[in-house]
Chains A and B, each alone.
Chain A
Amino acid sequence: MFSQYREMLGEGNPAELVEMQGEELWSAARGPKNKPLSACDLGLGAGVVAGAYASLPRYFKDAGRVMDLETRLAWCMNDIQGLSESAVTARPFSVQGQTATDLEALTAWIAGQSRGKVISVPQKHAKEQAAFAEGKRLFNYRAGPYDFSCAGCHSQSSKRIRLTVLPNLTTQEGAANAYRSWPAYRVSQGALRTMQWRMVDCARQQRLPELIFGSPAAVSLLTYLGATANGGIMDAPGIKR
């Protein structure tokens, strides 16, 4: 039922407006250093945007850790533009119905530049492998008053929460279908939502404390999900109910 609705919504995705906002931001001189972000290395070389999202998260030597796109953008805004990372990440997600945040807009545009690209999250560096292993451990980690883990809802195929079909994130197919569709415009919230938002909101529904934007746990979970999805074809920003 929702899948047909989603298909219908696909025509004229409001995420396109957010993508345009992000494209402008990428080349605009901003921050105390008055520099554009376009020198930022998203993993494929300084300023290379095409295909970058499809191979994130990955290890960045300059930062010494594994980063997903959103974490990397916050790092570059600090490094290149001189904006404080804590200020950039203080409110990473927009309030329902309001204009997308800079991080959301940039993420939407950069993800869009990976449309049609094969998801290929690297697993060569030891820290990338460690992030995958930690992500897998956290995926199965049951905690909180409801004893929930990610696996509780996302380790079987063709199951539903009420009418919403749950992806089986332990399979390549299930992980790829999820990974390829984020970021996405969430119609029920009137907002573009990113992968970091998805992780944070899942933790809330798990009855856990607040998952911190760009934290090691969030990036590890995304590394596990992304690398499991390897081989899928990116098709984001998507649209969801």
Chain B
Amino acid sequence: MSARCLVATLSLLVLVLATLSPTTMAGDNESLTASYRAKGQAGLDRLQQSEMQQACSGPVGMEVAADVATKIQKAAMDGVVLPADGKLLGQWEKGQKIAQTGTGMQSSDDPATPNGGNCYACHQLAPEEISFGTLGPSLAGYGKIRGQSEAMLKYTWTRIWNSHAYSACSHMPRFGDAKILTEEQIRDVMAFLFDPASPVNK
């Protein structure tokens, strides 16, 4: 076999394998569903990946292709729902409670109890709170630093609703898109970030 022929054969093989990979994934995931059982509100359907989840499950350090990233971001952006009444800010006191609450949607959680936002797991918020995580950027002084322009409010709402609108493989949950928080809860979290009286801005 000539070298050129070998290269052509190999390229074809790679192409065939790439086409086959979704089938392979489905096969592998049969063993995955056999490893879990439905419990409480967590059904086996949760093991099925969305296109975004599948694209963002590569080995650590692997970037998604630019066209895939653009597609994910556009789909996320198109799905953002802004409040019909245009009111983006609620009560910061309620938002603070949501930021402190870590439960919600676990198999052990009561679905009748409102979900938390668990913002402190990953972000610094009010400087007075010392128990904060560092997986996400610090949001201390969020509103004081950025002001309350319409563009800034909408950007922040979008980040909370579906962070993938700005970074394709963001690790932040899609709080609005995945119905983790209600519109009213997101308003309250927004107020916690922006209200000059909120401890975030003290």
Seen from chain A, the residues whose Cβ lies within 8 Å of a Cβ on chain B are 134, 136-138, 140-149, 151-153, 155-156, 158-163, 166, 170, 203-205, 207-212, 215-218
Contact = CB atoms under 8 A, between A and B. Distances in A.
Residue with the greatest number of chain A CB neighbours at <10 A, chosen from B38, B132, B134: B134
A204 B120 contact: no
B36 A162 contact: no
A212 B46 contact: no
Contacts of A160: 132-135
A205 B131 contact: no
B174 A159 contact: no
Contacts of A147: 52-53, 56, 171, 173-174, 178
Nearest to A215: B35
B112 interface: no
Nearest to A137: B28
B58 interface: yes
B32 A162 contact: no
Interface stretch (B2-10, B82-90, B100-108, B189-197): B100-108
B37 interface: yes
B42 interface: yes
Contact of A162 (B34, B60, B120): B120
Given A140-B57, A215-B36, A159 B135 contact: yes
8 contacts: A134-B28, A134-B31, A136-B59, A137-B57, A140-B58, A151-B60, A207-B46, A209-B38
Interface string B49-89: 10011101111100000000000000000000000000000
Contacts of B60: 140, 151, 155, 170
A202 to B, nearest CB: 11
B147 interface: no
B32 A209 contact: no
A166 B171 CA distance: 15
Nearest to B33: A209
B133 A159 contact: yes
A204 B106 contact: yes
Given A163-B130, A208-B42, 17 more contacts: A137-B28, A140-B58, A140-B60, A143-B46, A143-B53, A146-B178, A149-B57, A155-B60, A160-B132, A160-B135, A161-B121, A166-B135, A207-B42, A208-B36, A208-B47, A210-B37, A217-B35
A142 B131 contact: no
Contact of B35 (A143, A159, A163, A211): A211
